[in-house]
Structure 1
């Protein structure tokens, strides 16, 4: 959700902790971020920031539930995969050198997956070919690939927990 409100408090040992309100399409929830986690994640706790909060819920009678924060992941840092589709192995081989050159110029942590349609082969490129899967890279790829043959897919957040 998006951070709608934030309050910083100090413990009796003068350590900062935060109480934030997260808002999404279904409502709001308060998140308690204890000092150790606040220190680790405070850079993500700006007003209107979009984040995923992983933690456990505490629910008491006649009070709204709260989430005790264990991990925060900003929307911008979700891992992605770049899927590149070629009709045949010949199509891939024809574009391979330009493709690898373009990929080398985009340094990042996102995986690249090559799919050959006619043989239904899929190949994940190694870590040395990981990219920053963003609009700039897509523009470069679309200079020699069709729009329907290149897409960025966000990985499932639940697999990161």
Structure 2
């Protein structure tokens, strides 16, 4: 595994490269279905949310997930919407600063968390419109699942 200092530029590159030309309800559906398809192919259990334009456009909880996954999704999503970066980036950034994100005075740990799995949805030349979130796997795997799905839709030749 990379050191925290080495991973931060890679995570920022993902955010820069994995942006949509346009995004709407149909795009949200395609992204959610792609995540479900990837999870089924890997035989893993996850909960999925695609949230944009201040509404939940796709939500799916695979059989075997728990209500707790929905709580994780909300906290991860809120982190992306507040800080404008993937929840994994926020966690790695705070780790590089030798501090616990959730223990900072201005952070309500019931509303925010810095665990991988939520990624900003951006439209090129427009900005942040939402977040796609996965919960159910270790944070690196949640994050990578989202990256794989976005890569397949946005930039098939990106790695």
- Global fold match (TM > 0.5): no
More helix by share: 2
Say which one has the larger Rg.
Answer: 1
Structure ranking higher on relative contact order (CA contacts 8 Å, 6+ apart): 2
Q: Normalising by the residue count of structure 1, what TM-score does the alignment of the two structures yield?
A: 0.27
Q: Normalising by the residue count of structure 2, what TM-score does the alignment of the two structures yield?
A: 0.27
More strand by share: 1
